[in-house]
Amino acid sequence: MYWYKLTPLDILMLRDAKPFSPQERAWAGSIFPPNGHTIVGALRGLLPEKQDFNIIGPFLCYENKGNNLYLPRPLGFVKSTPLVPLAWETESHLHNVVLHDETQPCPLVKPVNSLREDEEDEFIKGDGSESKFRQYLPYSVVKTYLQTGQIEQQHWMVTDGSYENQPWTIETRSHNAIEQGTRQVKDADGYFVENGIRLYPGWSLAVGIDENIDTPTTLRLGGEGHRIILQRCDELGEQWASLQQQSKANFEHGGKSIAYLVTPGAFERKDKLEGSICRAYPWEWTLAHTVNRNQTPGHLVSMATEKPVLISCRFREKAEASKSIPAPQVFAAPPGTLYYLNQPQVLFQDDEKTKVNKWRKLGYSELLWINYKSEGNN
């Protein structure tokens, strides 16, 4: 894989997956970071027509005394305290009071020896304001997390001036169409508003591609064809390779593990049953606890996630690749989702022979593995 930085030259218009036209809805939102479909669509302009290629990412990159890869924060934390499945925290008093729906993943709780509530005052600054927590973690913190299973309290704090809580700003832009011969906005299709994304200085997107592209060069990304600079950055590739190496070692170690989703997780059904194909965790991962004797226990114990990421896809015509029609929306698990398993387990979409491997080629469902270590056994 070859790694590149994508640095915007202007604001980016990356509309969300909601249908939009000025006649029906006067507000167009933006989604950031862009999904794999958007990145691949932009890169196709630099590669031969109909050429297939794979990507990793996209992630964020911050240039400060070198280029540093940034990944979305793990969601299984309350401030700096990691949550664990109740089934793994055998000494918790909550075993006596929590009623658990056995058809759902196990509840998450704070470890017995975690910080007390009064100790959380350490997050209050001298001026009375609360410290900001990183929403994107640098490579060094993620590497330590993979090695130890822990993220120290100080590593959650935003570095001054780095915008690690949100390295972009949202700009709202209105568009007016004036009625000919007047100074009045048109009654029909005359007004709509859209949000644009502007990255802060020093920040870029980062993506790995299995194609060697001559750089620097420019390409168009998102709506209105705003340009970005594509630059080769081997430093990012070295950092990703280090994370992958540690993740692979953790996977092979086995035992209680945490799967850290770093790109949106698009999970389809393995069978042909009708109904929703989207779920917050892989369909082939079955729960470790069972409801009746006829069920076979799996490895998935619990998960930590939040609202899904909407992905708008299109079906391309085989005869004319330039033509396409809208496909059903996909509701993907958000980056940062954590899965707690008694044993690590692969995704069936990793198999290149399966049809759903297309999601992996587009950078979705990228997992990093962590060996679970309780706070009392570090």
All residue ranges of the chain with pLDDT < 50 are 116-119, 128, 185, 190, 378
Task: List the beta bridge partners of residue 205.
Answer: 6, 60
* Burial of 184 from C-beta contacts in 10 A (0-12 / 13-18 / 19+): exposed
**Reduced to 3 states, what is the DSSP secondary structure of residue 152?**
coil
What pLDDT is recorded for position 52? 79
**Reduced to 3 states, what is the DSSP secondary structure of residue 234?**
helix
Q: What is the torsional sign of CA 121, 125, 130, 132? A: negative
Please count the other Cβ atoms lying within 10 Å of the Cβ belonging to residue 96.
6
What pLDDT is recorded for position 7? 93
Q: What is the torsional sign of CA 211, 217, 220, 221? A: positive
> Which of 203, 236, 202 has the alpha carbon at shortest distance from 2?
236
What pLDDT is recorded for position 27? 55
What pLDDT is recorded for position 62? 93
User: CB under 8 Å to 114, separation ≥6 — which residues?
Assistant: 81, 82, 375
Kindly calculate the radius of gyration of the chain based on its CA atoms and give it in whole angstroms.
Answer: 23
φ and ψ of 350, to 5 deg: -70, -20
The tens digit of pLDDT for each residue in 277-308 reads: 788 999 889 998 888 877 788 899 999 999 99
Angstrom distance (rounded) from CA 7 to CA 212: 18
Please count the other Cβ atoms lying within 10 Å of the Cβ belonging to residue 215.
15
* Burial of 126 from C-beta contacts in 10 A (0-12 / 13-18 / 19+): exposed
Give the predicted TM-score (pTM) of the model. 0.87
Angstrom distance (rounded) from CA 228 to CA 288: 46
Task: List the beta bridge partners of residue 197.
Answer: 12, 170
* Burial of 276 from C-beta contacts in 10 A (0-12 / 13-18 / 19+): exposed
What pLDDT is recorded for position 378? 47
What pLDDT is recorded for position 160? 73
Q: What is the distance, to the nearest Å, from the Cα of residue 163 to the centroid of all Cα atoms in its chain?
A: 18
Percentage of the chain exceeding pLDDT 70: 80
> Which of 32, 29, 57 has the alpha carbon at shortest distance from 43?
57
Whether 259 contacts 369, CB under 8 Å: yes
Please count the other Cβ atoms lying within 10 Å of the Cβ belonging to residue 166.
14
Q: What is the torsional sign of CA 324, 357, 106, 339? A: negative
Whether 148 contacts 378, CB under 8 Å: yes
Distance spanning both ends of the chain, measured CA to CA = 34
* Burial of 106 from C-beta contacts in 10 A (0-12 / 13-18 / 19+): buried
